[in-house]
Amino acid sequence: MRAALKKKLHQELLARRKELTAAFKRTKETNRRSDDGPLDLADTATELYTQEFNFSLTEKDRGVLKLIAGALDRLELNEYDECEECGEKISEPRLKAIPWAPLCIECQAEKEAVARVESS
Ligand SMILES: [Zn+2]
């Protein structure tokens, strides 16, 4: 992989991580605010909705944060574009689309197929 592309993807990973961490902090602040004294019913409903929305966002994004941490580790080790499963190179278009992808497209497809079988 070209150094310039690697650098670009590295920056994308850092930017995405910053974005997610900021969203996570906002959620915590929202939760803290709801502890401040009584709210009337309308406010409570809005507050609950906001919390639920933020929570599902972080729940989903927590996985991405983990993958980003893994990708940053692999960058350090110079194994960034190697598939965690089979060790083959992950294609550049795939990494450009998902800079934190830990698996090549074949292993990812296989993993999803297994997950589908297990959940059915
Ligand atoms: Zn693979």
Distance from Cα 22 to the centre of ligand 1, integer Å: 32
CA atoms of 24 and 62, how far apart (whole Å)? 9
Question: Each residue of 79-107: pLDDT tens digit?
Answer: 999 999 999 999 999 999 999 999 999 99
pLDDT at residue 29 in the model: 72
Reported as a single tens digit per residue, the pLDDT across 11-36 is 999 999 999 888 777 767 776 665 55
In tens, the pLDDT along 25-80 reads: 776 777 666 555 555 666 666 665 565 555 555 677 889 999 999 999 999 999 99
Locus of tokens 């690697």 = 6
Q: Distance between CA 31 and CA 51 in Å, rounded?
A: 7
Cα of 48 vs centre of ligand 1, distance in Å, is: 42
pLDDT score at 120? 79
Verdict on whether the full-model pTM lies above 0.75: no
Q: Minimal CA–CA distance to 2: which of 88, 81, 120?
A: 81
How many angstroms separate the alpha carbon of residue 9 from the centre of ligand 1? Answer: 19
Cα 56 to averaged position of ligand 1 atoms, centre (Å):
29
In tens, the pLDDT along 106-118 reads: 999 999 999 999 9
C-alpha 103 to ligand 1 mean position (Å): 5
Residues 6+ apart with CB under 8 A from 98: none
- The rounded Å distance from CA 39 to ligand 1 centre is 52
The Cβ-side half-sphere exposure at 110, using a 13 Å CA radius, reads 8
- Spatial separation of the C-alpha atoms in residues 70 and 120, rounded to whole Å: 29
Q: How far is the CA of 100 from the centre of ligand 1 (A)?
A: 14
Q: Which two tokens stand for residue 98?
A: 């998902």
Using the mean position of ligand 1's atoms as its centre, give its distance from the Cα of residue 105 in Å: 7
